[in-house]
Structure 1
Amino acid sequence: MRLIDRYILLQTATPLGVSLAVVLAVLVLERVLRLFDLVAQHGKPFGPVLTMAVNLVPHYLGLALPAAFFTSIFLVTARFSEDSELDALRGCGLSIRRFARPLLGLGLLLTLFSIVLYGYVQPYSRYAYRAIFHAVTNAPWDASLVTGTFIDAGDGYTFYADRLDSADQRLEGVFVHERQDDGGEIITTARHGDLQVSDDGTRMTILLQDAVQIRRTPDRHDAVLAFDRLLLGRPFTLEGPLFRVRGDSERELTLTELRDDRTDPPPTIPRARLTAEFHARLVRSASLLVLPMLAVPMGMAAKRTFRWQGIAVAAVILLLYHHTIQFGESLAHLGRVDPLFSLWGPFAVFAAGCGVLFANTERRAGANPFDALYEGLEGFVRPVLRLVQRRRAPT
């Protein structure tokens, strides 16, 4: 590898790493906040949240990788063009194709990496996430309380306590709601209470003091009772239902399993879904290989004043391509269209368009089609911004 190749790749690595880190942090943190809320509602410890977040990383990495790769190449090419480094390279006899060669090599490496990511890492991480999610949402209540949170204890029981002394399980401000099989309800409130579980873990009891109980029958007749002391009990178990084996969904199968199961599909997954999932993963992986041929011409046309226009146009192009692939995958899942047409067809059109654009930029570097597009977008937005500034200006 020549010095210029290492220099270009080094300049690309920084924005690529920053883009991936930022996007992953935003996506994972947003999901982690929802997972914390879910775990708190079920009265479970927060330890599984970290494990679930780790298993979400491969999924979000697959979403962020194409956008981050394209953005990094776009910004590096725009900087090279703005600082006249690209002109200096061309003056030394290096063509645009030579400039893009290390970027295309990086695209090839990321394509191979994405095949492993989409094809083998994501299926296992997705199943692990669902297994932990099932354990959290379906595991029996372990008699632990989170103050200020309604706890679903299963079998129609809901608990709430304003305060909890973890040393002796002393409760204050207790609320217990029990939904009976015949449609009736029992609502109990108390100033104080003691929560206990039998030594064999088969029964839970709550001794309430200064309790008030409202009994509502299925025909909506209420009865109110007051107790100095009230003992509530219910059967209890710490054994939860087992989670299913991996492979109930085509998204949990590896590329090898998808290929093999197409000849003899399992009864729960139609052959069309297996075929569509297999081709969709390959198409998404191969798309990384052609992104440099689009990002380099767009970056060459994006001077300092045109960078936001270039990013906006790129976002539109990538979103349209992404949703086209998703639409084609949906049609292939239903068995209405062959994946070779609905998935590889849009990829072939996209790859051919990127290749033609890159070749035209190589032959006619001064006639970049994105120059006119950026200027037109700038000419449209500039009057709008001036009008907004006039309306905001004090009179």
Structure 2
Amino acid sequence: MLRQCLVPIVATILIGLLVLSAARFLIIFDLVLGNDQGLLIVARMLGAFIPHYLAFMLPLALYIGSYMAARQLTVRSEVNILQAAGSSIGRSFRALIVLGLVFACINVAVVGWLQPLGRYAYRALTYRLENADFFLRVRDSTFMNIGNRTIFVEKVNSDRHSFQKIMIYEPRDNGGEMTILAPRGSISRLGERLSLRLYDGQRLLVENGADPDNVQMMNFGVLDVPVGGVTEPFRPRGDDEQELLLPELLAQSTPLADATVRDVASATHKRLVIALSCLFLPMLAVALGVQSTRRKNIYQAIIALLIIIIYHQLVEFVGDFGKTMAAGPALLLWIVYCAFFVMSVVLFYKTTTGIGTLADRFSTWLDSLLPNFGTIAPPGNRPQTP
């Protein structure tokens, strides 16, 4: 049972991580392009973001794995064989319930500790890259901002320390502005700071925006423009509720810089409700996966997919809607959780006691509404009229 369940679980997690990491990889790659340790930084940043994806991939993978295991056992009539040998359906799928308990513990650790620490590490690395030295961020024919300056470089040479056709624009006080044009330049170090050394260029200066015709023009042979240096350390962890550990979230009773107390409560209980959904998802998957072997149920996969989507959307909606209510988001979130938990237990009990599977009962009801929907034969297999 566990072997049949673990294979789709592992496959779902790996495929999900690869798909979700693809878009994040493009963002990270643009940040680290030109860095001497680019691959190492990419690996660190993707590793820091993996717990964020695992937080919702673990329940989904458990649900899909349990559903596929239950469906395969019933389609192959193995459940009937186990029942004939004296083993009930509930006992056959007891291992999935234990697996759900294990996944719930793992997911609480992921959302409570690994996810906030990973998010903070990702933001710290992003801050370091965004404030990195000029030559690590510059791109061909791209405008970039350094402080209040806008810099444009038409071509970056292969050594990435020298450039061709450079323009620098800097707004000044009183509406004035300064523009520097140079055919070439290179990186030089002045003490602890980096400077862009420009050669054979021209500087245009407007001291006062009220008198734009008063332009001062100066030709220069060499001009140094500061473009980097020692950056301040990244802020301490905890300014955002997404960076707080689970015990810190539960103890947080004051608003944060960008979050109210209700925002913190909503974030806390959303994490717990999603993580602890692993406790009832195997029961729900079994109730949906066990089907009659006498007929092919075309509604089964649709029902299974819709229920997990509805649960996730309800959690998101109730968490946001609860912020505006006097009861708060926590009460509404746990009401939704308890409703799905009780529903899963009832459906699992009815399915495993032989009263009839949920999918078959629902299929019978749909067949009464759409009598010809499940009996449409492919064009090549239609019976011929005598």
Report the TM-score when normalising by structure 1. Answer: 0.80
The answer for the alignment partner of 1:338 in structure 2 is 328
Q: What code does the residue aligned with 2:301 have?
A: I
Q: Distance in 2 between matches of 1:17 and 1:346?
A: 28
Aligned to 1:176, the other structure's residue is in SS state strand
Q: What code does the residue aligned with 2:351 have?
A: T
Q: Distance in 2 between matches of 1:76 and 1:242?
A: 50
Q: Does 1:18 align with 2:11?
A: yes
1:72-151 matches, cutoff 5 A: 72-139=65-132, 141=134, 145-151=138-144
Q: What code does the residue aligned with 2:86 have?
A: G
How many residues in Structure 1 have an aligned counterpart in Structure 2? 370
Does the aligned pair in 2 maintain the 1:139–1:241 contact within 8 Å?
no
- Which residues of structure 1 form unaligned runs of 5+? 1-7, 387-395
Deviations 1:188-217 (A, max 9, x none): 555x513131341446243345x5777788
The one of 216, 227, 233 aligned to 2:224: 233
Aligned to 1:343, the other structure's residue is in SS state helix
> Would the alpha carbon gap of residues 370 and 213 (structure 1) be closer, same or farther in structure 2, given more than 3 Å must change?
farther
> Would the alpha carbon gap of residues 374 and 311 (structure 1) be closer, same or farther in structure 2, given more than 3 Å must change?
farther
Q: Percent identity?
A: 27
> Would the alpha carbon gap of residues 32 and 367 (structure 1) be closer, same or farther in structure 2, given more than 3 Å must change?
closer
More divergent stretch after superposition (57-66 vs 196-205): 196-205
> Would the alpha carbon gap of residues 212 and 60 (structure 1) be closer, same or farther in structure 2, given more than 3 Å must change?
same
- Which residues of structure 2 form unaligned runs of 5+? 380-386
> Would the alpha carbon gap of residues 45 and 366 (structure 1) be closer, same or farther in structure 2, given more than 3 Å must change?
same
The answer for the alignment partner of 1:249 in structure 2 is 240
Aligned to 1:207, the other structure's residue is in SS state strand
More divergent stretch after superposition (157-166 vs 198-207): 198-207
Q: What code does the residue aligned with 2:225 have?
A: R
Aligned to 1:166, the other structure's residue is in SS state coil
1:21 positional shift: 0.1
1:293-372 matches, cutoff 5 A: 293-301=283-291, 309-334=299-324, 336-364=326-354, 366-368=356-358, 369-372=361-364
Report the TM-score when normalising by structure 2. Answer: 0.82
> Would the alpha carbon gap of residues 301 and 196 (structure 1) be closer, same or farther in structure 2, given more than 3 Å must change?
same
The answer for the alignment partner of 1:27 in structure 2 is 20
Does the aligned pair in 2 maintain the 1:138–1:241 contact within 8 Å?
no
The one of 60, 63, 68 aligned to 1:70: 63
Aligned to 2:154, the other structure's residue is in SS state strand
Does the aligned pair in 2 maintain the 1:44–1:144 contact within 8 Å?
no
> Would the alpha carbon gap of residues 114 and 185 (structure 1) be closer, same or farther in structure 2, given more than 3 Å must change?
same
1:44 positional shift: 9.2
1:371 positional shift: 3.2
Q: Distance in 2 between matches of 1:187 and 1:124?
A: 43
1:102 positional shift: 0.1
Does the aligned pair in 1 maintain the 2:320–2:329 contact within 8 Å?
no
Q: Distance in 2 between matches of 1:29 and 1:237?
A: 31
1:43 positional shift: 8.2
Does the aligned pair in 2 maintain the 1:197–1:205 contact within 8 Å?
yes
More divergent stretch after superposition (137-146 vs 372-381): 372-381
RMSD: 3.6
Q: What code does the residue aligned with 2:288 have?
A: M
> Would the alpha carbon gap of residues 224 and 266 (structure 1) be closer, same or farther in structure 2, given more than 3 Å must change?
closer
Aligned to 2:231, the other structure's residue is in SS state coil
Q: Distance in 2 between matches of 1:104 and 1:342?
A: 26
1:265-284 matches, cutoff 5 A: 265=254, 268=257, 270-284=260-274
More divergent stretch after superposition (19-28 vs 77-86): 77-86
> Would the alpha carbon gap of residues 146 and 89 (structure 1) be closer, same or farther in structure 2, given more than 3 Å must change?
same
Q: Distance in 1 between matches of 2:42 and 2:295?
A: 44
Q: What code does the residue aligned with 1:246 have?
A: R
Q: Does 1:49 align with 2:47?
A: no
The answer for the alignment partner of 1:153 in structure 2 is 146
Q: Distance in 2 between matches of 1:377 and 1:56?
A: 46
Q: Does 1:286 align with 2:272?
A: no
Deviations 1:114-142 (A, max 9, x none): 11111111111111112112222244535
More divergent stretch after superposition (16-25 vs 156-165): 156-165
Q: What code does the residue aligned with 1:32 have?
A: F
1:370-381 matches, cutoff 5 A: 370-372=362-364, 380=373
Q: Distance in 1 between matches of 2:365 and 2:214?
A: 72
Q: Distance in 1 between matches of 2:192 and 2:106?
A: 48
Aligned to 1:195, the other structure's residue is in SS state strand
